Amino acid sequence: MRKLTITLFATALALAACSTSEPDEGADATTPADTATADTVAEDTVPDATEPADTTAATTADTTADTAAETTVPDTEAPAATFPPVEDDRAPGVTDTAVKVGVMYLDLSSAGPILGINQGDWQAAYQAAFDTVNEAGGVNGRTLEPVYTPIVPASSDQGTAACTALTDDDSAFVVLGNYVDENAPCIVTTHETPLLGGDLAMNDETLGAAKALWYAVGGGSDAQTAGLQALVDQGLLDGKVGVVGALGAEFLYEDVAKPILEEGGVDVVDVAYLDIISGAGDPNALFAASETIALKFESEGIDQILFNTGAGRVFPNGLARTDYRPQLRYDTLGDAALYYNGEGSDLSVLENAVAVGPYDTGNLFPTLGGATEECITSQEEKLGVTILPTSEVPDGDPDYWASSSTACSLVGLVTKMLEAAGPELNWGTFTSAGWNLGEVELATAPDPYFFDKDHPNGSPTLYVYNWDAAAGVMVPDEG
């Protein structure tokens, strides 16, 4: 199995209409000096330029049944506190016996039918995770008191209102959860409240503007960069390439992906964009737009298609309407999984597809112990459900893993940060604890995460996956 100690890019929900643009002609695309050498690739490891100085990828974990070989675990020994303490005695929502935690979660009641997914009861999953912590005595003598608000993905106005309600009206000490892009800056910049989540909006610009601690379990633009760089370094973009991105987020191609592709000598023939918001209500128009792009790419002799920012859930539906079968390349496993787990998806288009992503815990969690096993056991008992691997969920049934795993990982992270902050809890002690947290075990991965001020997404390990038609899922590369 190829192990890539690099950062995860969390997929965007993808929907809509299209436009195309030709790449610049005559671009001087050269391979940079720091691109992985043949020996590095042969060893199946790509160094993570953002990994802490004392971190290496060397030790191994358990072997998973049939689909995964040994996984490397970063040998990360948390150093002594290297970031200075933060002085901030504000402590909204904190009493001697409780700490108020705001929770935003995605309400997929409208988008779910289009995406073909049902992710279970998000609020119930979070409540089960909070109950597990509280039943064990809480944290430093305080129980965790959640306050909830749902977010509709295409409604930024609702998201902003919910942000204000949690931070101003409910006085949450910290906020957890998933967001549309506008929500995270509202919390960490406008309202200066710590946030764990919101990875879709995490990039250098938004992190630089943040006035409060902001962590995510994976995700962020650095992760997208790492996933794309891995595809380039592993020689997986060696044909005539077409790129499909998100309309309105062209900068993610122009400013992030394009320089990597040019420096890697990738032959990008054409670039197209899908509007992931305005087409949400009309999937047929969305798929027709994808079909138009596919036919154009076919006429241009493109034999590999790279998805940049969530388009990989939608585009294959249009591709399936044609006889054109290029090789699909995903810089995030989650984007591929949204398609092949979707109800009614034509899986023939995934022949020879490759994805880069985190350990596929959604399908492989039955082989794992530790925090993941504890999460599943607790959630099943409290919710009265059976959590199946995502690939085994019958069409139309809820995929409880999606909501339960997110709730467990974020509640687990906030618990560890509150523990590290100590009994004298305020935004200063919480931020100081987060900046120097180091290695932590969370549900959803066999490998530990590493969090500090310079690693706000935990620096998760990524893997290369290949499409397995017999299994109906992407499986880790045994190479």
pTM, two decimal places: 0.72
Residue 48: inside a domain, yes or no? no
* Residue 36 resides in a domain: no
Q: How far is CA 312 from CA 26, 113, 245, 278, in A?
A: 28, 17, 9, 17
SS3 content of the chain, % helix, strand, coil (to 5): 35, 20, 45
Distance, in Å, from the CA atom of 269 to the CA atom of 29, rounded to the nearest integer, reads 13
Contact at 8 Å (CB) between 173 and 194? yes
Among candidate residues 340, 342, 368, 365, the one with its CA nearest the CA of residue 355 = 340
Q: Structurally, how many domains does the chain consist of? A: 1
- pLDDT above 50 for 9: no
Instruction: Compute the Cα dihedral for 84, 458, 42, 330 and give only its sign.
Output: negative
Write out the two tokens for 91: 């402590």
Q: What whole-number distance in Å separates Cα of residue 104 and Cα of residue 159?
A: 9
The percent of residues above 90 in pLDDT, for the chain, comes to 52
**pLDDT tier for residue 80 given thresholds of 50, 70 and 90:** low
Q: How many residues does the chain have?
A: 479
Asked whether residue 279 is assigned to any structural domain, the reply reads no
The C-alpha atoms of residue 385 and residue 397 are separated, in whole angstroms, by 12
Residue closest to 369 by CA, chosen among 73, 68, 62, 128: 62
How do residues 81-109 score in pLDDT, each as one tens digit?
689 999 999 999 999 999 999 999 877 66
Mean pLDDT of 387-415: 92
Residue 176 lies in a domain: yes
Structure confidence at residue 125 as a pLDDT band (50, 70, 90) = very high
CA distance 127 to 134: 10
Q: Read off the pLDDT of residues 156-200 as tens digits, 9 standing for 90 and up.
A: 566 788 889 899 999 999 999 876 666 788 999 999 999 999 887
447 in any annotated domain: yes
State how far the Cα of 387 lies from the Cα of 398, in Å rounded to an integer: 9
* Average per-residue pLDDT for the chain: 80
* Beta strands 57-60; 462-468: pairing state: unpaired
Mean pLDDT for the stretch of residues 381-407? 91
> Is 459 among the domain residues?
no
User: Could you report the per-residue pLDDT of 449-460, keeping only the tens digit for each?
Assistant: 999 999 999 988
What are the strands, taking DSSP E only, across 49-151?
Answer: 57-60, 72-74, 98-106, 143-151
Q: What is the pLDDT of residue 76?
A: 37
Residue 18 region by backbone torsions, left for phi larger than 0, else alpha for psi between -120 and 50, else beta: beta
Q: Is the pLDDT of residue 45 over 60?
A: no
Alpha helices per DSSP H over 142-220? 156-164, 183-185, 204-209
Retrieve residue 58's tokens: 């060397």
Spatial contact of 401 and 390, defined as CB atoms under 8 Å apart = yes
The CATH code of the domain that includes 378 is 3.40.50.2300
Q: Are 73 and 359 in contact (CB under 8 A)?
A: no
Mean pLDDT value of segment 305-334: 91
Supply 23's token pair.
């790449």
- pLDDT tens-digit map of 199-233: 878 888 889 999 999 999 987 666 677 889 999 99
Domain assignment of residue 185, yes or no:
yes
Judge contact between 136 and 164, C-beta under 8 A.
Answer: no
Which range marks the domain in which residue 186 is found? 98-219+363-451
Note whether residue 274 is domain-resident: no
**Angle at alpha carbon of residue 118, lines to 180 and 372, rounded to 5°:** 85
448 DSSP assignment: P
How far is residue 274's CA from residue 286's CA, in Å, rounded to a whole number?
8
